[in-house]
A = this chain, B = another copy of it.
């Protein structure tokens, strides 16, 4: 009898234990590493001081504990939680070294189900939470699958106005020698590709986010492979060339490499990773583009619009035609909320909604729940007040990242709508980067609204 009971229990266990794959991404410098480090830290410290009042399973005492479990997939680098924690808790504290490429960490969350039937059958259940971190650049490449080399070249060249035009100048001048119908000169293509890559790195360094092909700035072991040696066709004679250039011409080889990149690199990411994700959080740093000006801000909007195509599940979307996705919840989080004063947080959320909604309203997000919030994964400032223009104003205190000096400041008002011409002319916003606060090693990392994020991403799975 005992044996049967045990077997039933073990069967219930197997069927009720759940596995959830949470994907974390963001445009570069949006704080992915800080987010994962803090999320894991809060969950591991559930019974040692984590403050997660808006995470229902924790608030109601149903979440009993969390522990790290061995990674099942031996082929993917592990997320370096321990070294991140060491950097944060050392004196003076410093930000964790950012990750490159993909990494993973898995937690087992033990909880008491709320559901009556499940409670009757078992005391506790386990949710295996696999967190996977990957570069946002990889999502930006998706639309390439819907473009041929000509269309992509047109789009890339149309972007070359203002600063982008200036940064692409060297590449464009070097292209002068490029004869489309001449027999391929691999050295020339390699050198022109290098200049296109230099241009992409320059965009990235200047805080621009729409970088294509994304793999060019994170090549890994593909560095130097012909698959990463192409660039948009720079001249307006595109339509005359297609179909005419010989198989071994410069033009034809560029086109072949573009197609190889789409088929073998872009598609591989979707097949090997994306299709296994259950939930997705996209971190967005809205503050840096506000600092940098109208062009950088509009570029961020463009990048987010591109990125959202990976979540258009409408029947006629590119994505649905190519893949069968499963993500059912998508969270956009404005990171670094602690870098503006509390009274500005609502504006930050409104702004993020405005930025993403353009894409969202025009597309069918069938069966996918989307939300925006503002959070700080690891709080680096303390709220205070300063006297400014004879008024007591909310302010931030912290240590400036550039010189480690303690400062108090009011960074300005975040526009609640897409910024107007007037906003950019006033330059009313000056956001500073801070170092993490020196922290007490006994306490979990301080955060803002990480519990909201946990509730949206995991809450329903812990009922």
Q: What is the CA–CA distance of A141 and B435 in the complex, to the nearest angstrom?
A: 45
**A190 interface neighbour in B78, B101, B186, Cβ under 8 Å:** B78
A78's partner among B73, B186, B260 (CB-CB below 8 A) is B186
**Do B187 and A225 have beta carbons less than 8 Å apart?**
no
Residue A346 interfacial (CB < 8 Å):
no
Q: Nearest Cβ distance between residue A389 and chain B, in whole angstroms?
A: 51
- Closest B residue to A263 by CB, please name it: B74
| A243 adjacent to chain B (CB < 8 Å) | no
Distance A167 CA – B256 CA, assembled complex (angstroms): 50
Tell me which of A73, A186, A187, A257 has the highest count of chain B C-beta atoms within 10 A of its own C-beta: A186
Contact between chains at B224 and A74 (CB < 8 Å)? no
Inter-chain CA distance A73–B222, complex, in Å, is 12
Do B80 and A224 have beta carbons less than 8 Å apart? yes
A226-B190 contact given A101-B221, A221-B221, CB 8 Å threshold:
no
Most chain B CB within 10 A, of A74, A77, A253, A256, is at A74
Given A70-B226, A75-B225, A227-B75, the answer on whether A187 and B82 have CB atoms closer than 8 Å is yes
Interfacial residues of chain A within 161-184, with CB under 8 A of chain B in the complex: 184
Docked complex Cα distance between A227 and B101 (Å):
17
Contact B187 A74 (CB under 8 A): no
Give the residue name and chain of the B residue nearest to A230 (CB): B74
Q: Which of A70, A73, A253, A256 has the most CB of B within 10 A?
A: A70
Contact indicator A220/B220 (Cβ below 8 Å): yes
By a CB distance below 8 angstroms, the chain B residues around A256 are: 74
A223 touches B253 (CB 8 A): no
Interface check A28, CB cutoff 8 A: no
> A74's contact among B68, B184, B257, by CB below 8 Å, is which?
B257
Verify B222–A77 contact, CB threshold 8 A. Answer: yes
The docked-state distance in angstroms from the alpha carbon of A78 to that of B80 is 32
Please state if A224 and B77 are interface contacts (CB–CB under 8 Å).
yes
**Interface 0/1 of A255-282, CB less than 8 Å to B:** 0110010001000000000000000000
Contact B224 A70 (CB under 8 A): no
Q: Name the residue on B nearest A82 (C-beta).
A: B187
Interface: A347 (CB within 8 A): no
Smallest beta-carbon distance A384→chain B, Å: 38
Say how far A107's CB is from chain B's closest CB, in angstroms. 12
Within 8 A of B (CB), among A76-96: 76-78, 80, 82
Contacts of A18 in B (CB 8 A): none
Smallest CB-CB A-B distances: 8 pairs: A77-B224, A74-B227, A74-B226, A74-B260, A220-B221, A77-B225, A221-B221, A70-B184
